[in-house]
Chains A and B, each alone.
Chain A
């Protein structure tokens, strides 16, 4: 699970502060702000379809980021991210309708509530790890799914619950273009939080737990604390993402947070790159765009083979299944690894090192 980060020859870090800097060099800083500027103008340039895809990438990206902290950085496997995502969606809608707290605040509160739930379901992680933990989170997924179908006071049962459109000082986020900025704000906050977390003492403790949990314990890292904390942080991001999703759709259904959805989140971080903050977003974009690409492909081929149109949903699922397998076999370090290789190659072009 180690992610190699090829640095060009002569790129030395002479002190510790330099090694843990948020932006490693000027190009990195510039690249970040260029991307941010590009992201800001998207709603003015593209139509609603592209913007809605970007919103999806942003929302899923936040939840996938949480999962990457848990899986990629701490080495705990979780098959229940969708259940926590759903918990965020329901609790934000529930808080807003029952207590009248404005949506902008309930999104944050939903994150905190989901953190608590995540920590409860993270308790088994104190004793077990690896495959056993994967199975425990699988059980958490089914138990929470069952809870959503049953707890009518909280989720509206099979009817689902309505989520209001957020509003800030009279500005209503009622169109895709407007909602986009709300999502963009949370994406920036989440990714900055996560990047900074990984530069901190706690972040390094997570990585130590992942790399060798026994050695970490010998060095004085409290395994139980950090494993449960990691579940909490992961669920916080899932909750924020879920709340944003609920208010975006305006409606939260109890049936949408399935095991398949959890697997999609795992697929995002594996394809993007385990243990890479930026890779998370790449992987999310890949998984969101892959079905769109398959739709396009089916559209092209449907002339000679009209049969394909009927089975389009299955083709999309098959594409996701095969993408997971192909990436694990041929590029286990994910898209971010490819990107780093490309960057390292061009930095010193035409010399190889």
Chain B
């Protein structure tokens, strides 16, 4: 029983990270209609940039972190302007393939620059195990849930309260109407990619600090698909909830697998079975809006 609760908590913690990355994914999809297969590589770029700033240039953590944020902003905007803007209005296959191409390119480029071995982050926060309500929780994991919550709250405030958030919501709702109201759709697109890159970068840094930095981190970019389909491809709240569900589900699958089935890697594949079931039964997820087409 204790193991069960422990896995549940682990699931929620990992799930909150999935939720954050899924949120970025949905943000880009909602405002630019691009399904970003390179989301996982954004995490990698952020993590490797921060790591090399800390170890190679020996910057203090806060400075390295800020420089990484600035770098990711520029990275997102440049990517949007150079690669994705020419493809606005193209068919789904082109848009999918261009992000797949980006994923391959960055995966290989990062492998080339940083090597294929995992590297640990320098110790920034002390790693110890604390007890909360009788459960053993590593502080590193707690450290990872705090940024997730901060990011989620920031998203909420940004979209509800700020002028730019309003502009982005308007663009997501209807591009032409937004444009006729004087919103620069071009800037909104650039901003969506910039936010997505920055937040993914932060998630990458957090994951890198909890585990180590290696190209395996990009697997988060694949886990995002089950999370967003469960939540609904165009719902930001859905992405968070979907992420949590997938995180918990993975750990539950590991529990069931370890206790009864002994398949070995059920936890890695279970989210995809859920994905297929959801697509067959409820293709627009829990919170997604249904597409209605007219002739």
Contacts and interface: CB of A to CB of B under 8 A. Distances in A.
Nearest to B94: A328
A136 B269 contact: no
B110 to A, nearest CB: 9
B149 interface: no
Nearest to B116: A314
A128 to B, nearest CB: 5
B182 interface: no
Given A1-B93, A214-B295, A325 B105 contact: yes
A1 B97 CA distance: 14
B280 A123 contact: yes
B293 A214 contact: yes
B86 interface: yes
A320 B92 contact: no
Nearest to B105: A321
Interface stretch (B123-131, B161-169, B271-279): B271-279
B83 A77 contact: no
Interface in A296-353: 311, 314-315, 317-318, 320-325, 328-329, 332
A249 B293 CA distance: 48
Interface string B173-195: 00000000000000000000000
B65 interface: no
Contacts, number: 126
B104 A320 contact: yes
B229 interface: yes
Given A135-B229, A143-B269, A325-B83, A128 B279 contact: yes
Interface string A57-94: 00000000000000100010100000000000000000
Contacts of B265: 146, 149
Contact of B279 (A135, A260, A323, A329): A135
B295 A317 contact: no
B104 A143 contact: no
Interface in B76-122: 83, 86-87, 90-94, 96-98, 100-109, 111-112
A324 B87 CA distance: 13
Contacts of B276: 124, 136, 139-140, 143
Contacts of A322: 101, 105
Nearest to A71: B93
Contacts of A142: 222, 269, 272
Interface stretch (A30-38, A165-173, A262-270): A262-270
B83 to A, nearest CB: 6
A199 interface: no
Nearest to B112: A314
A260 B104 contact: yes
Contacts of B108: 314-315, 317-318, 321
Judged by DSSP, the binding face of B is helix
Nearest to A134: B96
Given A77-B96, A139-B225, A142-B272, A127 B102 contact: no
Interface in A123-153: 123-124, 127-128, 130-132, 134-136, 138-140, 142-143, 146, 149-150
Contact of A332 (B90, B112, B268): B90
A17 interface: no
A321 B105 CA distance: 5
Interface residues of B, number: 43
Contacts of A222: none
B35 interface: yes
B94 A332 contact: yes
B92 to A, nearest CB: 4
Contact of A329 (B83, B106, B107, B275): B83
A215 interface: yes
Given A139-B225, A218-B295, A315-B112, A130 B92 contact: yes
A194 interface: no
Contacts of A150: 263-264
A260 B96 CA distance: 14
Given A317-B107, A322-B105, A1 B283 contact: no
Contacts of B245: none
Interface in A157-189: none
B273 A143 contact: yes
Contacts of B225: 135, 138-139
B20 interface: no
A299 to B, nearest CB: 17
B295 A328 contact: no
Contacts of B197: none
Interface string B191-213: 00000000000000000000000
Contact of A146 (B83, B96, B106, B269): B269
18 contacts: A75-B91, A127-B283, A132-B279, A136-B275, A138-B225, A143-B273, A150-B264, A260-B104, A266-B93, A267-B97, A315-B108, A317-B104, A318-B112, A324-B100, A324-B101, A325-B102, A328-B90, A332-B90
Given A134-B96, A214-B295, A324-B98, 20 more contacts: A1-B93, A124-B279, A128-B283, A132-B279, A132-B283, A135-B275, A139-B272, A139-B275, A139-B279, A143-B272, A143-B273, A215-B295, A266-B93, A266-B100, A314-B111, A315-B108, A317-B108, A318-B104, A325-B83, A325-B101
Q: Which 5 A-B pairs have the closest CB atoms?
A: A321-B105, A324-B101, A321-B104, A317-B108, A314-B112
